[in-house]
Amino acid sequence: MLKKEARVRKLVVFSGLLLLLVGTACNLSEQVTASKKPDPVIEVVRRDTTPVIPTATLLASPTPQFTPTPSATPFNEPRGCLRPPDDYTRVQIGGATINARTLWMLERAQQLYGGTIPFTGAGLTQGSYNPGVVSASFGTHDGGGAVDLTVRNIPYTWDIKWEDIPLMIDALRLAGFAAFYRDEREDLTPHIHAIAIGDAELSPAAQLQLTGRYGYFRGYDGFPRDDGIPLTPRNGDLVICQWMLDMGYRDMRGEPLPLE
């Protein structure tokens, strides 16, 4: 009887050990299997980092547009614009002849300039209605509205007033002139050349300095070049007043250049 109970106890212990070994083996198998499964978090990260190229980026980029220089800008009338009178009575200043319209514009420019060079006195070195006298003027002084002004400190030191040149240019342009600084680079003595915009008695050459290939309203300095390439002025910018638009002038910068 005792031997039989001992065998039963051994059988129970053996069965328990067997069950323990089977359970441990199953747990190990599950761990190994679980380690072989892909990590869902890692998969999501990998999918999200895949670059997505929008269809739009595959399209050809637009062809860049060429913008001529100088180019037109929206009209904004400068403060101080005044329309000159339509008076073409001829007046004499020293050895220069101009009309009353041009004189009014010079007086207006003198007020705006506020400097010492006298626009309506000894500072006026060449007037209008002066056909064929100065070949370097290209006929611009043959009719009305054309003047040359000195840039020297007269009647004091006679030195060039470099600091006044841009001030003179700005004042003359606001008064209604297409004004340009000239010097040895054009084979000329230093001076300011000015054309009265809208003058009814301008010579054809003077009119070209306003709207021609090298014209002021195209953003250039009015001086014809042997190579045909217009240059921008050294000083100042294009000034357009409403009265100029009313007379048919406009900002022509960026428009195709006419032939010479």
Query: pLDDT digit string (tens) for 201-245?
Result: 999 999 999 999 999 999 999 999 999 999 999 999 999 999 999
User: Is 99 within 8 Å of 125 (Cβ atoms)?
Assistant: no
Distance CA 93, CA 126 (A): 10
Q: Does the structure show a pLDDT above 50 at 132?
A: yes
The mean pLDDT of 163-188, rounded to a whole number, is 97
Kindly list the distances between the CA atom of residue 96 and the CA atoms of 204, 214, 241, in Å, as whole numbers in the listed order. Answer: 20, 26, 28
Distance CA 83, CA 78 (A): 13
User: Is 221 within 8 Å of 233 (Cβ atoms)?
Assistant: yes
Task: Supply the pLDDT for residue 110.
Answer: 98
Distance CA 215, CA 193 (A): 13
- What share of the chain has pLDDT > 70, as a percent? 72
Q: Does the structure show a pLDDT above 60 at 25?
A: no
Q: pLDDT-based confidence at 34, cuts 50/70/90?
A: very low
The mean pLDDT of 16-36, rounded to a whole number, is 47
Kindly list the distances between the CA atom of residue 109 and the CA atoms of 5, 119, 128, 131, in Å, as whole numbers in the listed order. Answer: 135, 8, 17, 25
Count the neighbouring beta carbons within 10 Å of the beta carbon of residue 84: 20
Q: Does the structure show a pLDDT above 60 at 117?
A: yes
- Greater model confidence, 33 or 230: 230
Q: pLDDT-based confidence at 66, cuts 50/70/90?
A: very low
